[in-house]
Structures are given as C-alpha cells and as structure tokens.
Amino acid sequence: SRSDSLSYMREYAPKEKRTEVADKYLKSGKICGENYLDIVEDYPIDVFGIEKPELYDANMNSFLKLDEIRDKDLILLDNLKQTANALKEKIYSNQLLDVEKKKKDYTDEKMKFKDYTIYLLSFTNDREEAALKKQDLENIALYNQALELEKKTDLKKTELERSKLLEYLTKTLPQAKLKECLAKTQAAKDEKIKQSEYYNYLKSLLPQGKSVEKIYPNLFAYIDYLNVFDKIDNEDLFKELPQFEDYIYNKLIGRNGDARELYFISRGIETFEGLVEIKITPDETRFYTENKKKFNIKEWKNFLAKQAKRHNISTNIDVNSNPLDNHLAFVDNFYDIALQREYAFAANTIKAMNERLPVSPLTGEKAAFKPQNPNAPKIAVLICGGYHTSTLMNLFKKQGIAYVVVAPNVTTATDKNLYRTVLKEVYTPMAGQVEVIQPIAKPTLPGLLRQQSNKENKEVPSGQ
C-alpha cells in the first residue's frame, strides 16, 4: 500500500479557502470524498492505497476497450430489444403482458415496492407461498407473512388498546417497574429503541394466557406483525425480488416454449446492456456467469428473426453479422479482472492494517504512540464502489473480520458521461510508479498557494 494522503495541503491555506477550492474539485470529479476530507479537516487522517497496480491498469485498459464499443453495442442491443418487445405482444399471454407492464411501472418508480410485491404474490397459492423459503426466497416469504398480519391489524384500535394497557399498568405496577415502563415508552417515542422491543416489553408485563389476548387482540396482532417484520433482511429482500419475478414468469409461461425462449433472450439483452454500460449488480452479473453458454447472440438473432417473420413483424436484424458475440470476450475480461482486484483489496487492506503504525491524535505523526492494548481491534475505512461490496463482505466474513457497510442514499441519477470523461482524464498507469517518500515540492491544487518552510526560504537555488 502507498500513502495517498493530501493532509500536507492544510498548511497552504486557511480552512475556509481550502474548503472553497476542494469543493470545486470534488464537484468536478477531480478529487474523491476522502481527498476532500483530508484537505479540509484538521484532524489526522492516514489515507493509503490498496490497489494492486498491475490489476488496476489491466482493468482500466479493459474499461477503455469497453468504452470504445459501448455506443455501437447499445444500438445493436436496442435493435434486438425492440424486436423482442414487439414479439411479446404476439407470444406472451395477457397475464404475462400485464406482469411486463407492472414490472416497468416498478422499474420507472411509478409503483411502490409493497404494491408490486403484493401484485406478484397474487399469482401464488397457499402451497406455493409456504414453499417460498425452499426457493431461497426467505425474506419474500417473511414479507408475505407480515403483509397478512398487517391486514389483521387496525392501527387505531391498536393505539387505543395500548393506551388502555398503559392505564392498567400505571395502576398495578410497583413504583420502580412503573418508572422503567415510562422510560421505555419515552425511548420508543424518541425512536431510541425499536417498536418491536417496546411492544414486546409491554407484553412481558402482562400475565400470560388466552384471556389476556382477548382483551388486547389488535395489540397482540400488531406485536406479531412487528416480530415478523424484524426478521426481514431489507437488503436481501430487495435482492430476492428479481428471483421472485423469475419464479412468477416461469409459472405463467408454463409449457410455452417460444415464450420461455423470448423471456430468456429479453433478460439476456438487459443483462448485456448492463454489462457493457457497467451499471449492473453482482446478482445480475451472476445471471450472466451462470448462463454464459446460452449467451449466444447469433442464436438469439436467428430466433427473433424467425419469429418476426412468422408473426409479420418488420425487423432489420442482420443474422450474418455478429460483433456482439465477439465483444463478450471484452466483457469477460473486464469483470474477471474486477474480481481479482476485489481479492487484492481484501488482502492489501488486511496487510496495511497489520503493518501501518497508529497515527497520533495530536500531531498526526506516525509511530507517535502505540496503543495501550496491542490486541485492541484495528479499525480502517475501505472506500470502494458499491459493486465490490458483496464480494468483499464474503471475503472478510470468511476471515472472521467484523465490518459495517456504509452506503450513500443516492437521490439523483449519476452522470455517466461525466464519470467516464473524468475517469479517462485523470487516469495515469499505476504499475511502475515509484513512491517518493519526501518530495522537495509536493503538488497542490490550483487555487491553493503553497507556503514555503523556513528551510526552503533560506536555500539558494543551485547555479546562482
């Protein structure tokens, strides 16, 4: 790992000026968030790289190659998609067409997750719902269970029953227990504890038995609802949705071979687009890797052209030209190297955490102190793109390393063109670079004046 710290720039200008200049470079994509923090703040930060230079350069070269073919490939894929969409009107059943419409509404954020999931669940019967966990759809199954309990819960009546219960407890609880109960109620109100914890606490204060449940039926139903909802892993729930979609599609397709082939080709086109544009999740990448042998664009073209002719749909698919099949090699190369980089990230992070000495909280100097407890947990922040998260989580989990994932709440669309432009502008090959430990004049951002040290002021340039 190499030091990427820019904290030396702090001496060049006051904080207000540093913030002004760094803000401009952050928004233009010339520096990253950690660089911004390192320049603007005053507390010590040790920033270091974890890339394996050869892998980074190889991945960047494959990215540049993908970027060259990207626009042409997307046009070719869009042409295939238009034909596939036209064929759906001829081959899909009315139910499948309705699912397509609802899926688009959900993708376009015109339909909420809850409504879309309820819609998909409407195609399942009790036996199928009970078997969802066996389909690796555990969180969908729990969500369905929570939705069923929600139907039985009247929130207004629940609130009335809670008030009734608190009134009862106020009269019957010992003083110490009542004080604890009131503190829990306030903590729940202030959102310092989960609702499920609070309501289960209230339930624990009551005598057990069916007679009590009859007095507070809505309250008990609401507690059951909260307990089920607590078991749901929200991240995994969203990951399971495409798999659940696939389950519903396959059920509705049944024995219609043409519809099944068309469905796979449509998914394949969407996946290929995501791979080329590099806006795809690891789960979506897995669909490609698990079905790589079926990603035969020539066969897709032949199927689409044949079906288009059969259903009198005009198309300009050229079955004799197959650049997309040839370009799959570039896609494979890019994502294979990306996976190798992820293994390097994990290895280099662990190595750096074991080797780098602590930073003094007072001076920022390395080796200024050693922790009182050498066995204390070592803490670091690994900054990388969201695509790499799932692989890194698995790698750290296997090595028994605790981690917390912090992800931004992105509310605006990423400017892909700006991203690509900046990435190409700032890229310089990493392999072969020699780190200069003590450069005579460290680089700075234009707009920040570098202050000279007393030593530099006294030095006379050679030759004068």
Q: Which residue did the predictor score with more confidence, 144 or 281?
A: 144
Segment 176-183 mean pLDDT: 93
d(CA 265, CA 262): 5
- The Cα–Cα gap between 274 and 334 comes to 13
Q: What is the pLDDT of residues 278-308, one digit of tens each?
A: 888 888 888 999 999 999 999 999 999 999 9
137 against 281, higher pLDDT: 137
CA pair distance 17, 9, nearest whole angstrom = 11
Distance from C-alpha of 246 to C-alpha of 255, rounded to nearest angstrom: 15
Read out DSSP for 1-18? --B---GGGGGGS-HHHH
Q: With bands split at pLDDT 50, 70 and 90, how would you rate the model's confidence at 453?
A: very low
Split at pLDDT 50, 70, 90, the class of 433 is: low
Mean pLDDT of all residues belonging to the chain: 86
29: left (phi over 0), alpha (psi -120 to 50) or beta: left
Which pLDDT tens digit goes with each residue over 325-375? 999 999 999 999 999 999 999 999 988 888 775 554 444 455 444 555 666
8 A C-beta contact, residue 160 and residue 246: no
pLDDT digit string, tens, across residues 46-94: 888 889 999 999 999 999 999 999 999 999 999 999 999 999 999 999 9
pTM of the model: 0.78
In this prediction, residues 245-258 reach a mean pLDDT of: 96
Q: Provide CB contacts within 8 A for 216, sequence distance 6+.
A: 161, 164, 165, 206
**Max alpha carbon distance in the chain (Å)?**
100
Mean pLDDT of 29-38: 86
Residue 432: per-residue pLDDT: 63
Quick one: how far is CA 67 from the chain centroid? 23
Q: Residues with Cβ < 8 Å from 304, sequence gap 6 or more?
A: 80, 83, 84, 87, 265, 315, 317
Q: What is the pLDDT of residue 443?
A: 60
Considering 47-51, 307-311, 410-414, the range whose residues carry the highest mean pLDDT is 307-311
Residue 190: C-alpha distances to residues 202, 204, 205, 223, 391 (Å): 17, 21, 21, 19, 36
Q: How far is CA 184 from CA 192, 194, 235, 372, in A?
A: 9, 10, 29, 37
